[in-house]
């Protein structure tokens, strides 16, 4: 703990340097280790299974590298760059969402409002730190605007269903995700200019919970809670993942404005929201009858962007508003 409190009192730039050193160092080690491991001789009968696992591992590793580089890019480009980056993510994610929920002709104008009015406006509000309007734009004003535009299109068939789909997409992909750059810009007393750490804290905690949960469900093979939605989601692996994430959160308290205990609880909340949100997104995928977001990607084996960031879309708003509420931060 002594080491950690020394770290906490370092200057921001020293902390950043150490963090990125750590992050890229670990990634380099893992990549290099995996490369050496792949060179090993294997018996022929295990080749096929190994190949499959290896491809999946490589795909995930590449995504992690990409994520780390993007995070670094978001850091050096500052508030504007980070906001733009997440706006692009939102756009791509909403595109995947809308593609799979099968909207109809009458939805055209509502979709234009969602993509070209609500999305840019929401990120403009993040960029200008107008957090009071930012938290209500979509749930209050957007909630009314979308069905109004839809009603004006004069198409009564399945009206509720069609509007619910679009509003869900906007809530998850735009409103949810926009809280990630909002964390960067949140003003914490005595913590100016370090918002990026809050975001990093969130990303790390949520990823740890996902990874541990996936590993645990493979190792434990417990009975799934909701078999028809997810064959891997069991209570025990969920607890394991979430608790590990909370622990990692506590160990990372030195990059946050929290005390160790607060970091533990907030890490738990974020991991909880992330993994349960992931489950909800899985249910949506089952409903649409696909295995992953992205357009018919089963052909190429690629996974959509929304598969990667689904957990964040749910974890970010919950985490953001928990922090704001608990620390009574001024948002105006």
Partner 1 sequence: MSLADSMGHLLAFIARLITGAQGHWKGCPPAAEQRIYIANHQSHFDWVLIWAALPHELRAQTRPIAARDYWTASRFKTWLTSDVFHAVYVSRTRASPDDDPLEPLLDALKQGDSLALFPEGTRSSKGEPQAFKAGIYHLAEQFPEIPVIPTWIDNVQRVMPKGEVVPVPILCTVTFGAPLHLQPGEGKHEFLERARAAVMAQRPSAA
In the complex, the residues that contact partner 1 under the rule CB under 8 A are 91, 94-96, 98-99, 103, 105, 108, 111-112, 115-116, 289-290, 294-296, 298-299
Q: At what angle do helices 12-38 and 195-220 cross, to 10 degrees?
A: 30
Strand, helix or coil at 256? Answer: coil
Cα 252 to Cα 40, 101, 208, 264, 287: the distances in Å are: 36, 39, 12, 9, 38
Nearer to partner 1, 63 or 92 (CB): 92
Q: Residue 296 CB, nearest distance to partner 1 (Å)?
A: 5
Nearer to partner 1, 44 or 299 (CB): 299
* Contacts of residue 250, Cβ cutoff 8 Å, sequence gap at least 6: 260, 261, 263, 264, 267
Q: Residue 105 CB, nearest distance to partner 1 (Å)?
A: 5
Q: Residue 186 CB, nearest distance to partner 1 (Å)?
A: 30
Helix (H) or strand (E) holding 160: helix 159-169
Sign, CA dihedral 207-224-302-292, equals negative
Question: Is 231 in contact with 295 (CB distance < 8 Å)?
Answer: no
Q: Residue 94 CB, nearest distance to partner 1 (Å)?
A: 7
Nearer to partner 1, 77 or 104 (CB): 104
Q: Residue 162 CB, nearest distance to partner 1 (Å)?
A: 13
Nearer to partner 1, 221 or 296 (CB): 296
Question: Is 296 in contact with 259 (CB distance < 8 Å)?
Answer: no
Nearer to partner 1, 47 or 298 (CB): 298
Compute the distance between CA of residue 324 and CA of residue 332 in angstroms, rounded to an integer: 12
Helix (H) or strand (E) holding 200: helix 195-220
Q: Residue 297 CB, nearest distance to partner 1 (Å)?
A: 9
Compute the distance between CA of residue 119 and CA of residue 115 in angstroms, rounded to an integer: 6
Nearer to partner 1, 43 or 289 (CB): 289
Nearer to partner 1, 160 or 299 (CB): 299
Cα 275 to Cα 4, 81, 85, 113, 246: the distances in Å are: 28, 28, 23, 30, 13
Tokens of 158: 């399945």
Compute the distance between CA of residue 51 and CA of residue 23 in angstroms, rounded to an integer: 27
Q: Residue 294 CB, nearest distance to partner 1 (Å)?
A: 7
Q: Residue 313 CB, nearest distance to partner 1 (Å)?
A: 18
Question: Is 171 in contact with 139 (CB distance < 8 Å)?
Answer: yes
- Residue by residue, DSSP assigns 82-124 as HHHHHHHHHHHHHHHHHHHTT--GGGHHHHHHIIIIIHHHHHH
Nearer to partner 1, 42 or 296 (CB): 296
Nearer to partner 1, 107 or 249 (CB): 107
Q: Residue 300 CB, nearest distance to partner 1 (Å)?
A: 8
């Amino acid at each position: 703990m002594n080491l950690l409190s020394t770290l906490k009192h370092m200057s921001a730039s020293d902390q950043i340097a150490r963090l990125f050193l750590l992050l890229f160092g670990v990634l380099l080690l893992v990549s290099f280790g995996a490369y050496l491991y792949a060179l090993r001789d294997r018996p022929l009968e295990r080749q096929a299974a190994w190949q499959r696992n290896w491809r999946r591992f490589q795909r995930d590793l590449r995504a992690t590298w990409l994520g780390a580089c993007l995070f670094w890019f978001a850091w050096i480009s500052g508030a504007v760059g980070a906001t733009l980056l997440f706006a692009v993510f939102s756009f791509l994610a909403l595109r995947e969402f809308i593609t799979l929920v099968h909207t109809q002709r009458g939805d055209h104008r509502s979709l234009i409002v969602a993509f070209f009015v609500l999305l840019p406006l929401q990120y403009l509000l993040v960029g200008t730190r107008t957090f009071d309007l930012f938290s209500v734009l979509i749930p209050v004003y957007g909630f009314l605007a979308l069905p109004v535009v839809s009603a004006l299109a004069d198409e009564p068939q399945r009206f509720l269903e069609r509007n619910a789909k679009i509003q869900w997409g906007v809530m998850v992909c735009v409103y949810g995700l926009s809280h990630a750059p909002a964390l960067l810009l949140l003003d914490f007393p005595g913590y100016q200019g370090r918002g990026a750490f809050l975001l990093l804290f969130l990303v790390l905690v949520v990823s740890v919970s996902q990874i541990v949960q996936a590993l645990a469900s493979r190792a434990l093979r417990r009975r799934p809670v909701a078999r028809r939605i997810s064959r891997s989601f069991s209570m025990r692996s969920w607890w394991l993942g979430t608790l590990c994430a909370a622990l990692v959160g506590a160990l990372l308290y030195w990059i946050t404005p929290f005390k160790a205990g607060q970091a533990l609880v907030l890490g738990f909340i974020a991991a909880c929201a992330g993994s349960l949100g992931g489950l909800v997104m899985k249910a949506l995928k089952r409903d649409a009858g696909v295995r992953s977001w992205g357009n018919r990607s089963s052909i190429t084996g690629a996974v959509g962007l929304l598969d990667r960031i689904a957990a964040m879309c749910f974890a970010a708003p919950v985490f953001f508003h928990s922090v704001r509420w608990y620390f009574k931060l001024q948002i105006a």
